[in-house]
Amino acid sequence: MPHCRQRLVRPRALGLPLFLLLTLLLGACQEARRDDAARVKTTARRPTRAELLRQDSLRVDSVARVGGQLPGAILPEQRIVAFYGSATHKTMGVLGQYPKDEMLRRLDQQVQAWRRADPAQPIRPALHMVAVIAQRDAGPDGKYRELQPDSVIRRMIRWGHAHQCLVFLDVQVGLSNLQAELPRLAPYLQDSIVHLGIDPEFSMKSGRRPGTEVGEFDAADINYARQFLARLVSRHRLPPKVLVVHRFRQDMITNYRKIKLDPRVQVVMHMDGWGTPGVKRSSYRKYIRAEPVQYAGIKIFFKNDLKMDKSRLMTPREVAALRPDPLYIQYQ
């Protein structure tokens, strides 16, 4: 059988050589890609602030879901030891009771006592200043509270920077509310060392004058403060903020289970009742251990804790033995 050879037919391209046709097609494709890139470049825009915040929020949500922490978080790796009071009112606490150098010396002594009691836990000293103070008088707007002068607040922040201390600005809203008061503190809270405290004792939702009864915050109030701080953290790319919520009675905080967490804000429920060591342990169990939120704290009163017969101050070792572990310790 004769061997058959298949005849190969060379393609034609309208009279042009094949290699020339391929060259023209390749050049056209490259030109089209350059045109597309140019269009993308001319229409590209920077993300808006809202879009950037949303990106941060999505990242924060993912961190929260895995129980992680953001860089720069203070708790739980460190314990905060704070002096509380007002730089302009000596009777409000140890912070304003002594001249600056003496106050800082006493704070350092307290920090050293904590380091001896619990050497494994690093300590961050702090200055906890009441920036919005509840008043007996209604004031011009009838809100029974007063914002401390800008010069006083900034002086406290300068002390914090100079002596490696955190600074907490505390808010007693009176007949005002957090929505009205916190924005006034935003310029200070943009500083990475400045954190926030809110005091339900002087949140007078009943409309009565501060000091006539114990006030309250709802979970919605605490969530507002948390969200306010979280937005500052995202907008200014700050490390997480600490939010201290004072508490010494159950009815001071309502709907605690509805308090929402966010890794941009570390929430401390702070037992600030006074009394004997036994009374303070009991209050800690009732209001901190029984109704947990995130982190725990406790206050030691240099004077009020000694008012009862045979009372004494709890030692750092005794406080450190409480459960949950108190990571924010305040002295007044």
Tell me which H or E stretch contains 79: strand 79-85
Domain enclosing residue 123, as ranges: 80-331
Q: Is residue 168 part of a domain?
A: yes
Q: Is residue 85 part of a domain?
A: yes
Q: Is residue 220 part of a domain?
A: yes
Is the pLDDT at 38 greater than 50? The verdict is no
**Which pLDDT does position 325 carry in this prediction?**
96
Q: Extract the tokens encoding 25.
A: 């097609």
Q: Is residue 259 part of a domain?
A: yes
Q: Is residue 87 part of a domain?
A: yes
Q: Is residue 35 part of a domain?
A: no
Is the pLDDT at 331 greater than 50? The verdict is yes
| Measured CA distances, 273 to 73, 118, 230, 291, 297 (Å) | 27, 23, 28, 16, 11
Burial of 254: CB neighbours in 10 Å, binned 0-12, 13-18, 19+: middle
**Which pLDDT does position 309 carry in this prediction?**
86
Burial of 295: CB neighbours in 10 Å, binned 0-12, 13-18, 19+: buried
Q: pLDDT digits over 239-288, tens only? A: 999 999 999 999 999 999 999 999 999 999 999 999 999 999 999 999 99
Is the pLDDT at 52 greater than 50? The verdict is no
Confidence band of 30 (pLDDT split at 50, 70, 90): low
Q: Is residue 75 part of a domain?
A: no
Q: pLDDT digits over 189-233, tens only? A: 999 999 999 999 999 999 999 999 999 999 999 999 999 999 999
Count: domains in the chain: 1
Q: Is residue 285 part of a domain?
A: yes
- Name which of 7-16, 241-250, 291-300 the model is least confident about: 7-16
239 neighbors 71 (Cβ within 8 angstroms): yes
Q: pLDDT digits over 59-103, tens only? A: 554 454 445 789 999 999 999 999 999 989 999 999 999 999 999
We report the CATH number of the domain holding residue 114 as: 3.20.20
Q: pLDDT digits over 116-164, tens only? A: 999 999 999 999 999 999 999 999 999 999 999 999 999 999 999 999 9
